[in-house]
Amino acid sequence: MTRTFDGSVGWAALRPTFADRLGPQTLEALDDAVAFATQRHGEQRRPAGEPYVEHLLEALQVLVDAVGERDPDTLRAAVLHDVVEDTPTTIDEVRERFGDRVAELVGWVTKSGDRAQYLARLRDAPDAAIAVKLADRLSNVQRLRTHPRPEKRASYYRETVATIVPLAAGRPWFQQWYSEWQAGHADLDG
Specify whether 159 is catalytic: no
Residue among 31, 85, 127, 187 flagged as catalytic = 85
Residues 6+ apart with CB under 8 A from 33: 75, 76, 79, 80, 98
Residues in contact with 31: Cβ distance below 8 Å, sequence separation at least 6, in sequence order = 11, 15
Is residue 178 within 8 Å of 139, Cβ to Cβ? no
Rounded to an integer, what distance in angstroms lies between the CA atom of residue 60 and that of residue 54? 10
Local structure of residue 89 (DSSP, 8 states): -
Please enumerate, as own/partner, the contacts of 88-95 that have beta carbons within 8 Å and a separation of 24 or more. 88/40, 89/40
Residues 161, 182 contacting (CB under 8 angstroms): yes
Q: Which of 6, 54, 71, 86 is catalytic?
A: 86
Cα 155 to chain centroid distance, Å, stands at 19
User: Is 86 in the active site?
Assistant: yes
Positions marked catalytic: 85-86
